[in-house]
Structure formats: structure tokens, C-alpha cells
A and B are shown apart, each in its own frame.
Chain A
Amino acid sequence: MNIPEHAAKALLQEAGISVPAGAVADSPQEAAQAATDIGTVMVKAQVPVGGRGKSGAVRPARNPTEAHAIAGDLLGARVNRHRVTEVLVEERLPVAKELYAAVLIHPAGPARRVVLSERGGVDIEETARTDPGSIRTLDLDPRTGLHPETAQRLVARAGVETAAPAVADVLVRMDRLHRDSDAELLEINPLAVTDAGDVVALDCKLVLDSAAAARRPSLAAAAAPEPLTRLERAARELGLQFVELDGEVGVIANGAGLTMTTMDVIVHLGGRPANFMEIGGDAYTKARPALEIVLAQRGLRSLVVNFCGAFARTDVMVDGLTGAWTELRPDVPAFFTIDGTGSAAARRMLEERLGLEPYPTMDDAITAAIRACGQDAA
């Protein structure tokens, strides 16, 4: 879950980390008003996308007229898959030095990892290629917080001289915010040292662990809506894992691994998958709504149903699917493979209700499904 920059900065401020004066605007008029109040500003599209400066989604404005024009440009525009509905109009500060600071999850530890680089304002991936020596990292025991003295040692030699204590203090506060918000990533890039010697977060990326949403309801409510298609949103509301793609062969399978693999084999055998639809895990009782969503995709020419039951019982999934099929009577041909938990009963049900026999292997079912697309075209 991505927290929009302006909301993340409000959290930084609550955590005692300085941010520039700013206001959120959803119209050019509001942006101009904010610029009138603040002075020289940056106008920043509120989209969770890196490299906004380069793509023109963040631009400087010297006066309210410019702020009005830039906001007019940005609002309603698309940056990658995200539509801009808000801009952050923020004070432009004279910057002496830009740092990179982050707290992230290091899975191999596992640990919370604090990262500091004296090269701020560029992607950390780029710095890792061009100047890896400038990146300092520190792995923390997941059960404890960053100690101020440890933070000071990390900051020493970062070339920030008199600002070092303030930077160390920011790291300690970032680490605490990371823990308290169940974050996956808290990144401040750049963390600026201003001409006046203040340490200020000019940008902020905060990604929360969606598994912790239930115990962080107010944070979860602040998350930016994901850029989903209409069907993806419908699936999400039903608790289904669904990703719409642009191919012709629909996919319903159980489990993330098997569903991805079904897509992979479709591509390997020369077809194009229409979607990812997973009904394993807790979703194995939701075969019916899953089928409805997959069938609602435009461009669908055939359907592969690939079940290999472990936790997800194939008899329950096929029951739901065939029940819905007989009511919906779709004109899309379906090609099944059924193995694993409950497969004997599932195969019987498929035969009785749809008169279909599952294919012996997924490759066979997929080959037939791809061929069916071709016949349609001819």
C-alpha cells in the first residue's frame, strides 16, 4: 500500500521530521492560491512513481501564474498507470546538500535495514552502480529500534559535518515510524541539508505492509488507491487475486505459483494469456464470481482451467465453476486439467454437468485452448 507523498509527509511531521511548508491542491486555482501563500514552490503530482522530476511530474513555479499553469497541466494527466488527481504545492528551499535515507526490509537477514548515502536526489539503484562506496547500510535486529549512538556512527563521514547530529536524529525517527506504521519501505530522497543548516525531507516514499492493514486502519485509509481496471477492482472487492492482461486465453487456476505457470506455458506454447485469476488459498470457494469476472473480459477467446489441489479442494472449485457455467452458458470453449485434492469427485462432476473430460496435462489443455483461439479467427 502506497501512502501518497503529502500524507506520508504529514506522518513525518508527526514523527518530528521537518518537511517543507506545503498544501494539497486538486484544482489550478487552489495551486495558485497555495503559491501565493508560500512563494517560490515546487508543484508535485501525487502519484507513487519514481523519477517524477525527469518525467515532468514535478516542476518548479516562480509565481502563482506558473503554479496555476503547471497544476492545470498535471491534474487529470496520467503518469504510468496512475491518474493525477492532486498536486502538492510545496515551498522551494535553498539546498546545500542532498542525502538519501531509507529504512527497508532486508529479507535475507531478515532485518530492518537503514540505508544512508551522501548522494541524494538520484535513484539508489543508480548510486549502487555509479558510487557504491557512498552507500552505508546497517541491519537491525527486528525486535529492537535504532539506537541514537548507532545512528551517529552511521552518519559520521557522510560529509554533512555540522548537520550530522540532526541527520542521525532523522534516522532514529524514521526507524521508529517504519516500525510503528508496519512499513515495508520508508524512503526520504532527497533528505536535504538547507543553506540554513536545517535537515528537511523534500520527498517521501512510504509503502505499508498490506498484511498489517487490519491493525493500522487509519494508515490503511490514507493509502493511495491502486490503479486497477474496473474488473480488477470488482475482483479485489470479492477477495480475488486477478490481473487483467491483453491476450485471448483466459486463465483460472488455484494458487499463485500454478496460476503464473499457466500463463507462462500459454506464452511458451505460442498463445497470449488474458489474465491472472487465482482461486487457491482462502478463495477456493469463490469459483463462481471468479468465472464471471474472467468471462467479462473483452477479447477472451478460450479458457484454461488448471487445478492442482492441495489446500484448495478441486471438488469444491469444480462444483462452483460448473454450477456457474450451466447458468451462464458462456460461448467460450473451456479446457480443463484437474489433479490433486478432491480430483476424483471433481472429474466426475465435470463429466456429468458439462460433458467434458479434463486433459491429462496442462500442456495438452493449453495447446487445445490456443488452437481454439486460432479457429475462431479463421
Chain B
Amino acid sequence: MIVRGDERVLVQGITGRQATYWTARMQEYGTRVVAGVSPRKAGITHCGVPVFGSVREAAEHAPPDVSVLFVPPLSVKAAALDALAAGVPRLVILTEHVPVRDTMHVIAAAREAGAEVVGPNTAGLVTPGESSVGFMPAFDPSIFRPGRVGVVSRSGSLGTLACLNIVRTGLGQSAFIGIGGDPVIGTRTRRALELLEQDRRTSAVLLIGEIGGDMEEDAAQYLPEMSKPVVAFVAGRASPPDRRMGHAGAIFQEDRGSYASKRQALQGAGAVVLDTPSGIGPALKSLVR
């Protein structure tokens, strides 16, 4: 999903320490935060917005276009189902360590409700100059500035580095879509590519993948249908097999989910695949009009 500046954002779990810090950053950036949810602190005002006991009540105050979840792992399912039941069309789940079973339940319920889910385990979304949802450093002008590169990343930290390299080259981003580091996520690489292909402000795409799963291979099948050039970097070339590398999804066995498989698929489908992130800027510069 790409969040526009006029869209209303709800923060679930707003009274937590990290949520408080990042809600303030989001607001400074201009994100239109309309309310928060915190079951035990309903009725107070926090970060300058009213706090409700449930999404249903918050939606009566101001129906949100997006809800961002800063809630603990084992509470994510109930919080997300609350948001879906209240008719929120888009959820951004930042939480890491959500049980896969819960994630699958939420995604199935969202699909039934016609809603979109980004995450879990994502650093969030940034539309430079408009909106930031999550904990990406949108406020840092050396990392984010409006431009024409759409970025899809499983990793927040590597996505940040990629965006830094884009700005260093004199380019900017149309949207940053952090899809998350879990093996099961609501918006997979391919879906994010579809969104950027449709987005009129995007003229080139940067895909940041990593070892594990088959999202890059799956996305590669979509590349021939795209009108926009794709530059890719896949993390984990030097990682050993059968070890989980920080992200729950970053693990490969022999040929399954390996770097070689992903690189081959992306290259074969016409993407420019880089050996180091420092090549990102130069590669994009030659492609962005």
C-alpha cells in the first residue's frame, strides 16, 4: 500500500513507549494521525489525539484509512481483527514475533473483508513529503526525499541504507514499502511491485530481497509484465544454510530460498541485480527519467 498525505491514520497501542516516540515522529512529518487505541487507557488524550478502548469506538470518532499496530506479538491477532471488524481497509503490522498461525488468520480475515495488510515485522511505509506510517526515518532528508523510485524491502535497516544511497545520487523516492521480514506476510514482494507498477509517480523500482522463502522468485515471474525498470539487491549471499539470520523468514536449505535461486530468477526476468548496495544509486540514475 502507498499512504497519501490526506489519509487518516489510527495508532493501535498508542500509549506504549515506542508507539509514543514514533507517533510523535509521524506527526512531525505531517502524517494525519486522528486517534489512538489502548484498551486500558481509553478516554485520555495522548500525542494530542483521543485514545479509545477499541477500533470500533475510534472509528465512530473518525473512520481511519489506515491502522498501524504497535501492539505486543500475542495481542496482534485480536487487535487486527478488531480493526477489520470496524471496517478499517488497511493495516500495517509492525510487531515482530507474531505467531505464524495468528498472521495467517489475520490475512485470511482481511482478504474476506477486502482489506489490505502490510507486515508483520515491517518497519513501515513512507511516502516522502506526504506521510510516514511506522518507524522509518522519514524525517531524515539525507535518506528520504520526494522522487520517482519506488522501493520494496523486506528489511527496514537495509531499506534505510538503500534510500540513503538513492538520495546520495540525487534521486528520491515515490514510495517506500517495507513488506516485513517474516515468512508469512500480508503484502508479498510481487503485490508491492504491482502497486508500484500502477503508481503514476513511480518510474523505476528498487527491490530489496533476502534469502529464505520464494517471494523473489515469485516476483520475478511478474517482471516481464512490468513497464518500469527494476533494480534489485538480495541480502544473504554470504549466509550459511539452515541458520536463521535475524529475520524469522531469512533461512534457506540447499536450493530452497537460496541467494543463487533468487538472483537467477530476478536476473533472468530482466532485473539489474547488484553485488553491493553502493551500486544502487548509479544503477537507478541511468534508469530514472
Chain A complexes with chain B: yes
Q: Which residues of A contact B (CB under 8 A)?
A: 105, 107-112, 125, 141-143, 179, 182, 184, 209-212, 214-215, 241, 243, 245, 253-261, 263-269, 273, 276, 278, 280-282, 308-312, 339-341, 343, 361-363
- Minimum Cβ distance to chain A for residue B152 (Å): 12
Residues on A with C-beta less than 8 A from B161 are: 258, 261, 308, 339-340, 362
Q: Please, what's the 1-or-0 string for B64-81, where 1 marks a CB less than 8 Å from any CB in chain A? A: 000000000110000000
Instruction: For A343, give the chain B residue with the smallest CB separation.
Output: B140
Residues on A with C-beta less than 8 A from B245 are: 241, 243, 256, 259-260, 276
- Minimum Cβ distance to chain B for residue A92 (Å): 30
Residues on A with C-beta less than 8 A from B98 are: 211
Q: Are A142 and B105 in contact (CB under 8 A)?
A: yes
Contact of B97 among A184, A211, A263 (CB under 8 A): A211
Cβ < 8 Å to A, chain B residues 270-289: 275-278
Q: Are A339 and B74 in contact (CB under 8 A)?
A: no
CB of B128 within 8 A of chain A? Answer: no
Residues on A with C-beta less than 8 A from B14 are: none
Residues on B with C-beta less than 8 A from A309 are: 137, 157, 160
- Minimum Cβ distance to chain A for residue B104 (Å): 3
CB of B213 within 8 A of chain A? Answer: yes
A363 to B278 CA separation, bound complex (whole angstroms): 7
- Minimum Cβ distance to chain A for residue B78 (Å): 13
Instruction: For A311, give the chain B residue with the smallest CB separation.
Output: B135
- Minimum Cβ distance to chain A for residue B173 (Å): 14
Asked, given contacts A105-B104, A260-B250, A310-B137, whether A339 binds B73 with beta carbons under 8 Å apart, the answer is no
Asked, given contacts A108-B188, A257-B154, A311-B123, whether A143 binds B108 with beta carbons under 8 Å apart, the answer is yes
Asked, given contacts A245-B240, A257-B235, A308-B160, whether A110 binds B250 with beta carbons under 8 Å apart, the answer is no
Instruction: For A366, give the chain B residue with the smallest CB separation.
Output: B276
- Minimum Cβ distance to chain A for residue B28 (Å): 13
Q: Please, what's the 1-or-0 string for B252-283, where 1 marks a CB less than 8 Å from any CB in chain A? A: 00001000000000000000000111100000
Asked, given contacts A263-B238, A264-B276, A363-B278, whether A258 binds B108 with beta carbons under 8 Å apart, the answer is no
Contact of B239 among A253, A255, A265, A276 (CB under 8 A): A276
Q: Are B240 and A209 in contact (CB under 8 A)?
A: no
Interface size class of B (residues with CB under 8 A): 35 or more
Instruction: For B255, give the chain A residue with the smallest CB separation.
Output: A125
A348 to B256 CA separation, bound complex (whole angstroms): 44
Q: Please, what's the 1-or-0 string for B208-240, where 1 marks a CB less than 8 Å from any CB in chain A? A: 101101110010000000000000010111111
**Sample of 20 A–B contacts (CB below 8 Å):** A107-B183, A143-B108, A211-B98, A214-B73, A241-B246, A255-B160, A257-B181, A258-B155, A260-B235, A261-B277, A263-B238, A264-B235, A268-B275, A278-B246, A309-B137, A310-B135, A310-B157, A311-B135, A339-B164, A340-B164
Q: Are A264 and B236 in contact (CB under 8 A)?
A: yes
Residues on B with C-beta less than 8 A from A214 are: 73-74
Q: Are B238 and A273 in contact (CB under 8 A)?
A: yes
Q: Are B136 and A265 in contact (CB under 8 A)?
A: no
- Minimum Cβ distance to chain B for residue A291 (Å): 17
CB of B159 within 8 A of chain A? Answer: yes
- Minimum Cβ distance to chain A for residue B188 (Å): 7
Q: A243-B240, A253-B157 are in contact. List 4 more A-B contacts (CB 8 A).
A: A257-B157, A280-B157, A339-B164, A362-B277
Residues on B with C-beta less than 8 A from A209 are: 99-101
Q: Are B183 and A105 in contact (CB under 8 A)?
A: yes
Q: Are A257 and B153 in contact (CB under 8 A)?
A: yes
Residues on B with C-beta less than 8 A from A125 are: 256
Residues on B with C-beta less than 8 A from A212 are: 99-101
A245 to B153 CA separation, bound complex (whole angstroms): 26
Central interface residue in B156, B164, B277, by most chain A CB within 10 Å: B156
Contact of A141 among B108, B181, B239 (CB under 8 A): B108
Central interface residue in B123, B161, B184, B250, by most chain A CB within 10 Å: B161
Q: Are B160 and A339 in contact (CB under 8 A)?
A: yes
Q: Are B100 and A310 in contact (CB under 8 A)?
A: no
- Minimum Cβ distance to chain B for residue A176 (Å): 13
- Minimum Cβ distance to chain B for residue A362 (Å): 7
Q: Are B236 and A143 in contact (CB under 8 A)?
A: no
- Minimum Cβ distance to chain A for residue B133 (Å): 13
Central interface residue in A112, A339, A362, by most chain B CB within 10 Å: A339
Q: Are B159 and A257 in contact (CB under 8 A)?
A: yes
CB of B59 within 8 A of chain A? Answer: no
| 3 tightest Cβ-Cβ pairs between the two chains A and B | A257-B155, A255-B157, A256-B246
Q: Are A143 and B99 in contact (CB under 8 A)?
A: no
Q: Are A110 and B108 in contact (CB under 8 A)?
A: yes
Instruction: For B185, give the chain A residue with the smallest CB separation.
Output: A107
